[in-house]
Amino acid sequence: MNLKDIAAVVTGGVSGLGLAVARRFVASGGKVALLDVNEDKAASAVAELGEDKARFFRVDVTNEADVIGVLAQAREWLGGLNVAMNCAGILGAGRVLGREAPMPLENFSRTVMVNLVGSFNVAKAAADLMQHNDPNDDNERGVIINTASIAAYEGQIGQAAYSASKGGVVGMTLPMAREFTRIGVRVMTIAPGVFHTPMVDIMPEQVQQALGESIPFPKRLGKPEEFASLAAHIVENSYFNGTTLR
């Protein structure tokens, strides 16, 4: 798919990795709908990208009906829909057996709902719309890109909920991609390491430095624009399908 033809929805699109992806898509000539619950950052994100290239839509990705309705609105504004980028997520940090008490089930459930169920809701609704697109020369009608995490494979203490949610995203990628071959929609997932995002930036400076130094090479945190470059490459390269890139 040519990047200039992108008509994309990006969840978590007003900050962090989502905004970086939106920037890359718009810079390449595409058009984006920024889906998020964070209304405070919406105006600045749209102003940066340009009102003719970006629009904000408030959505709770855990609400199935909300997602279906907003994606339909976004497609109408975009003039089509051929890319869905799932970047919405929460950290859900906490030990299973905390100092005060065991982790409340609500904490675990909320993390899974946002990170896993939210990604599923968006992917399902997007594929339902994309299947009606006219195919390109590769018979492709769209691409869905999920965001998992290195924690899906190498979770640390305090990441039981987060790792479970991201492991679920990895797990649904291949079967979903296999199912969607009949409609010409690809499904890919990126499992990034530690990147500079709002979730990381609130950590103490010494913690961020230690995280960077723990990475074998290069010894630093990832840059959101590097994540966005990979997302753009996945869109362009029609031979990427059904796998997770770490």
Catalytic residue set: 162
* Cα 167 from Cα 182, distance rounded (Å): 25
Instruction: Tell me how far CA of residue 203 lies from CA of 12, 107, 178, in angstroms.
Output: 20, 20, 39
What type of residue sits at position 24? R
SS (H, E, C) the chain: CCHHHCEEEEECCCCHHHHHHHHHHHHCCCEEEEEECCCCCHHHHHHHHCCCCEEEEECCCCCHHHHHHHHHHHHHHHCCCCEEEECCCCCCCCCCECCCCECCHHHHHHHHHHHHHHHHHHHHHHHHHHCCCCCCCCCCCEEEEEECCCHHHHCCCCCHHHHHHHHHHHHHHHHHHHHHHHHCEEEEEECCCCECCHHHHCCCHHHHHHHHHCCCCCCCCECHHHHHHHHHHHHHCCCCCCCEEC
> Residue 36 forms beta bridges with which residues?
58
What type of residue sits at position 176? M
